[in-house]
Amino acid sequence: MATAVEKALSRLERPLLPLISLIEMLYLTGPFVGIEDLLAELPADIDTNGCHYDNPAALLNAELDILREIEFLKNNTPLSYLIVDGIGGECPRVEAVELWIAQGVMARELEEINSLLCGGRGCDLCCIGPKSRSRHNFFDIPLEENELKGFAGQRRVEDMDGDIYAVPAPLLDGRPFYQSNAPFLLRWRRGWSMVLPRQSACPNLADNGFCAVYEQRPAVCRKPQIFPYVLEEDGRDEKGEVPRYVGRRKLLAVWDCPYVREYQAQIASYGELCGMEPVFKENKA
Ligand code: SF4
Ligand code: SF4
């Protein structure tokens, strides 16, 4: 039976996006009313862009919630977002929908691949505060209200004024809020944060290096170290009616993560198969 890493590498070798690009083209040029009409006519397997897909209809059915966006192009439904290019020009509708779908499909796929690569590895880099000489003073783990129960017994400070990244840093007990010996929970106007000061560890990090609440870990801890940067959020459109995005067509990978270093070639190849420029960057140095 394939290990988690083997499963992740096989998915990196065969991303969904080449298949989805083919399906978008077939849908837009064919007589199909809904996307399911097309899926019903797909063969048992498909080869495209050097990738082989068994049972493509099943693979695509799992992405229907995102893929359905393409139907808006045929029935002239207004899009619920504006996508511009790097110099501010509005992208044509077909390109905007293609980018929107790519961002959604890659985000989901990479979250699953990241979990396979990270889970069970025993790496705690995402769970500890900055090193003593880091340029960072603290790390922030944003938490939803319903995630606080996973941090029972931790010191809580409520109703902190200002912004967590303000310069100079907001004061707590007369000194910058992050100057503490231990992690603590802090509520800003925008919501809760678990603040990890320098050389501290998340209270859920067990002695064996694994997360004690792994299956219930906060949403932010599930965020991947390889993620799509197909679209960049850029406020609202001029009338303030819909969110605006800039099309970037990039794949970002955080170089601090050991599996990103180990599988750099496979990650770069995944990005290229998806038509995205792979960019490796350091985060926590
Ligand atoms: S909750 Fe778990 S995964 Fe998240 S930072 Fe703490 S130990 Fe790490
Ligand atoms: S750095 Fe990578 S391997 Fe380490 S905990 Fe974070 S995601 Fe997992």
- pLDDT tens, position by position, 135-186: 889 999 999 999 999 998 899 998 888 888 888 898 998 999 999 889 999 9
Query: Residue 166, class by beta-carbon neighbours within 10 Å (0-12 exposed, 13-18 middle, 19+ buried)?
Result: exposed
Same domain for 133 and 269, yes or no, is: no
* 212: in domain: no
- If you measure from the C-alpha of residue 196 to the centroid of ligand 1, how many angstroms do you get, rounded to a whole number? 11
* Sequence-separated contacts (24+) of 61-68 with Cβ below 8 Å: 63/16, 63/20, 63/105, 63/108, 64/35, 64/36, 66/101, 66/104, 66/105, 66/108, 67/20, 67/23, 67/35, 67/101, 67/105, 68/35
Question: Could you identify the atom of ligand 2 that is nearest to the CA of residue 224?
Answer: 7
Indicate the SS3 state at residue 141: strand
Residue 21: is its pLDDT beyond 80?
yes
Ligand 1 pocket check for 204: Cβ under 6 Å = yes
Q: Does residue 55 sit within a domain? A: yes
Mean pLDDT of the chain: 93
Which tokens in the block code for residue 64?
Answer: 């229907």
* 23 and 157 in a common domain: no
3-state secondary structure of 223: coil
- Residue 97 C-alpha to ligand 2 middle, in angstroms? 32
Greater pLDDT, 64 or 173: 64
Same domain, 231 and 261: yes
**Residue 261 parent element (H or E):** helix 258-262
Do 197 and 238 lie in one domain? The reply is no
Ligand 2 atom with minimal separation from the 121 CA: 3
Residues 48 and 141 in one domain: no
pTM, to two decimals: 0.84
Residues 158 and 197 occupy one common structural domain: yes
Using a 10 angstrom Cβ sphere, with 0-12 exposed, 13-18 middle and 19 or more buried, the burial of residue 47 is: exposed
Least confident span in 36-40, 61-65, 124-128, 274-278: 124-128
How many domains, the chain? 2
Considering only CA atoms, which residue is closest to atom 4 of ligand 2?
A: 123
- Of the ligands numbered here, which is closest to the C-alpha atom of 122? 2
Strands (E), 34-87: 45-48, 51-54, 82-84
One domain for residues 113 and 9: yes
Residues 238 and 113 in one domain: yes
Helix or strand run (H / E) with residue 229: strand 226-236
**With 80 as the cut, is the pLDDT of residue 119 above it?**
no
Domain that holds residue 58: 4-121+221-281
Same domain for 67 and 167, yes or no, is no
Residue 82: band (very low, low, confident or very high) from pLDDT cuts 50, 70, 90? very high
Q: Angle at CA 120, nearest 5°, toward 125 and 10?
A: 105
Q: Are residues 96 and 226 in the same domain?
A: yes
Residue 248, H or E segment? strand 243-254
10 Å CB burial of residue 38 (0-12, 13-18, 19+) is buried
Name, in order, each residue with C-beta under 8 angstroms of 12's C-beta and a sequence gap of 6 or more. 113, 263, 266, 267, 269, 270
pLDDT at position 285 is 53
| 214 occurs within a structural domain | no
Which residue, judged by its Cα, is nearest atom 2 of ligand 2?
Answer: 257
